[in-house]
Amino acid sequence: MENKRTNEIRRPHSIFFPFLLVVMGIFLLLVNLGTIQNTAWGIISTYWPLIFIIGGLDGLYQRNSWVGSLVGIGLGTVLLLGNLHYLQWNSLELLLRLWPILLIAWGLDVAFGRDHSAWNTLGRVGLGLLLVAGIVWLSIASPLNGGIKTSEFTQSLDGAQQSSLKFSMAAGELSVSGGSASSVLVDGSIGLPNNMTLSPDYQAPEDGNSQLTLEGAGVVMGPFSTSAPWKLKVNPDIPLDLTTIMGVGNIQEDLTKTHVDTISSDLAVGQTVLTLPATGSVKGRIQVAVGELVLRVPKSTHLILHANIGAAGKQLPAGYTSKDGLIDSNTSSTSLVELTVNVAVGDLVIQEIP
């Protein structure tokens, strides 16, 4: 009993949070010195796999999780290389494929963690290194991009004078812009895992107003690739109410060649880039829970934002004012865009375009 208490007393304390603070301090210092040119969300979205690496180093330091610690370091390194474009897939695609390895490592540590003999420790280190080798092989050599199908979609206008559009996907990349033929409401390409199907819900025009909802049907428990995005073009002539919903990924909406009057966009984690039109009026709501919201605003457009920003930074062009949650471009124009934006954690970036 006395030896057990002595071992518990001598067990090293966790260095996870001190190490995390050191890494964060280094990055913030490099940003302030201009060495790293990026937004706060850009840095977080690129270097977040360091959490796995720091957690793994902490586990090795405490000597309480050999397999899990080595797997954490290996997985974090692979995810980071993906974000730095040294691998074909980014961290999201890799994590959605490789996360079950964490369960394997956890199970091995639980099964063999009570025996602290030298041979047991050596065996757990060997198993950890073997799993790390498997992570590297799956990231480089294995055909991870399988299981994805891309299909073309077209919905005719059917004489509609206005329409409500809703596009919803769990994870990936969604691109919406104008430019479809005058006789077409929506067309484009849609990528889905093989075990999912596209579920269109279309209501033909009533009193000139049609409705279209596009979403994937089915639950995906396995890999999903963002390399097969949704690229959709909408009718440029009729008034549109546009709604986009995504769990994790990127949303890009270009309203410059559209007649969108009302817009609603919800993103849980990722980046939303919204390009506003130079003419016409738009109202709506844009929400990003964790990530970056980029608004590309023509210089001739009067922009009014009702901004609810939590732990988020903001970047505004010269001439913009911000007071009590109201951001105004102070532009004298008949083109007015008035939006309510909510960014809980991340960045709000406004960019002026010609």
pLDDT for 242:
98
**79 — phi, psi (to 5°)?**
-65, -40
Q: pLDDT for 154-195, tens place per residue?
A: 999 999 999 999 999 887 889 999 999 999 999 999 987 776
Lowest mean pLDDT among 114-123, 222-231, 319-328: 222-231
What would the DSSP string read from start to end of 7-66?
A: HHHHSPPP-HHHHHHHHHHHHHHHHHTTSS---HHHHHHHHTTHHHHHHHHHHHHHTS-H
Residue 10 banded pLDDT, cuts 50, 70, 90: low
Q: What is the pLDDT of residue 193?
A: 72
Contacts of 115 (CB under 8 A, 6+ apart): none
More confidently predicted of 276 and 124: 276
Cα angle 11-17-19, degrees, rounded to a multiple of 5: 90
Give me the chain's average pLDDT, please. Answer: 85
Length of the chain in terms of residues written: 354
Average pLDDT of span 47-53: 91
Per cent of the chain over pLDDT 90 is 46
Evaluate if residue 310 carries a pLDDT over 70: yes
Question: pLDDT band at residue 261, thresholds of 50, 70 and 90?
Answer: very high
The reported pLDDT for the residue numbered 219 is: 47
Rounded to two decimals, what is the model's pTM?
0.75
Alpha carbons within 13 angstroms on the beta-carbon side of residue 299 total 4
pLDDT number for residue 223: 41
The whole-number pLDDT of residue 229 equals 86
**Token pair recorded at residue 184:** 């077409």
Q: Mean of the pLDDT values across residues 31-57?
A: 81
Which residues does residue 189 pair with via DSSP β-bridges, in sequence order?
Answer: 152, 231
Residue (of 276, 275, 310, 270) closest to 288 by Cα position:
270
pLDDT of residue 134 exceeding 60, the answer is: yes
Is residue 71 predicted with pLDDT exceeding 80? yes
Contact indicator for 282, 276 with CB cutoff of 8 Å: yes
Angle CA 263–311–52, to nearest 5:
105
Q: Summarize the confidence of residues 37-59 as an average pLDDT.
A: 84
281 close to 261: Cβ distance less than 8 angstroms: yes
Q: Is the pLDDT of residue 88 over 60?
A: yes
DSSP structure class, residue 278: S
| Half-sphere exposure in the Cβ direction for 71 (13 Å, CA) | 25
The predicted pLDDT at position 222 comes to 43
Q: Token match 């963002």: residue?
A: 226
Angle at 208 between CA 151 and CA 230, to 5 degrees: 20
More confident residue, 41 or 286: 286
Contact (CB, 8 A) for 52 and 75: yes
pLDDT above 70 (res 115) = no
Q: How far is 311 from 44, CA to CA, in rounded Å?
A: 13
Check residue 3 and give its pLDDT.
52
- Mean pLDDT, residues 333-339 taken together: 92
For residues 276 and 296, the answer to whether their CB atoms sit within 8 Å is yes
pLDDT, average across residues 296-325: 92
* pLDDT per position as a tens digit, 217-239: 654 444 444 456 899 999 999 99
User: Tokens 């549109």 map to which residue?
Assistant: 240
The answer for residues whose C-beta is within 8 angstroms of residue 218's C-beta and 6 or more apart is 195, 196, 197
Please state the rounded mean pLDDT for residues 288-307. 95
Cα-Cα-Cα-Cα dihedral sign, residues 80, 226, 245, 322: positive
Residue 123 has pLDDT above 80, yes or no: no
